[in-house]
Amino acid sequence: MLDRSKTGYEFPPFQVEVEKGRLRLFAKAIGETNPVYFDETLAREAGYRSILMPPTFPFCLGREIPDPTDTLTLLNIDLASVLHGAQKFQFHAGICAGDILYGQKRIMDIYDKKNGALEFVEVKTDFRDREGQLLCEAVQTIIVKRKSPP
């Protein structure tokens, strides 16, 4: 059984730069065709500061920390038992190449279903700009499959 007292736990804040080349590569990998994700000139003509960040890219930014498995480590979760449950993103402003983001990650909830056979961990990462304005909220749901309920 996961330690539910870790609900509300905040990980150390981190800083990450949104890099133009990575945005282009990611957009290509997901099959994006809108030029605002590739062409800086067209992105600027569309009103953006630079190439726009694709909507699911914050998941990648959340891995830009010293230990990208910190949640699993904190909760003593074996990677082999992990399933990807869900991810949600809420944007409050556009994020573009060259932006510096300040991330803060915390465990929002830990719960179980099927008499403990499945445990769920909801982790939220807030991304803010230098002035502290909230730009994006990214929520990830990790599912831990137990071989037998505890």
Place of tokens 């992990």: 82
Q: Is residue 36 part of a domain?
A: no
For residue 21, the surrounding DSSP H or E stretch is helix 20-29
Q: Is residue 139 part of a domain?
A: yes
Question: Would the pLDDT of 44 be above 70?
Answer: yes
pTM here? 0.91
* pLDDT, position 64: 82
* pLDDT, position 25: 95
Rg (CA), the chain: 17
The tally of domains found in the chain comes to 1
Please state, in angstroms and as integers, the Cα–Cα distance from residue 88 to each residue in 39, 48, 77, 124, 136, following that order.
26, 23, 22, 9, 10
Q: Is residue 23 part of a domain?
A: no
Residue pair 138/127 in contact (Cβ under 8 Å)? The answer is yes
Average pLDDT, the chain: 94
Place of tokens 């699993």: 72
Please state, in angstroms and as integers, the Cα–Cα distance from residue 37 to each residue in 22, 24, 93, 99, following that order.
11, 6, 16, 14
Please state, in angstroms and as integers, the Cα–Cα distance from residue 33 to each residue in 11, 21, 25, 79, following that order.
35, 16, 12, 34
Q: Is residue 150 part of a domain?
A: no
Residue pair 52/18 in contact (Cβ under 8 Å)? The answer is no
Q: List the CATH number of the domain containing 99.
A: 3.10.129.10
Q: Is residue 34 part of a domain?
A: no
Mean pLDDT of the 35-51 span: 96
Question: Would the pLDDT of 62 be above 90?
Answer: no
| β-sheet bridge partners, residue 15 | 102
Q: Is residue 11 part of a domain?
A: yes
> What is the span of the domain harbouring residue 136?
4-18+54-145
Q: Is residue 72 part of a domain?
A: yes
Q: Is residue 99 part of a domain?
A: yes
Give the pLDDT confidence of 66-89 residue by residue, as tens digits.
888 999 999 999 999 999 999 999
The encoded tokens of residue 125 equal 């990462």
The encoded tokens of residue 44 equal 């600027």
Give the pLDDT confidence of 92-127 residue by residue, as tens digits.
999 999 999 999 999 999 999 999 899 999 999 999
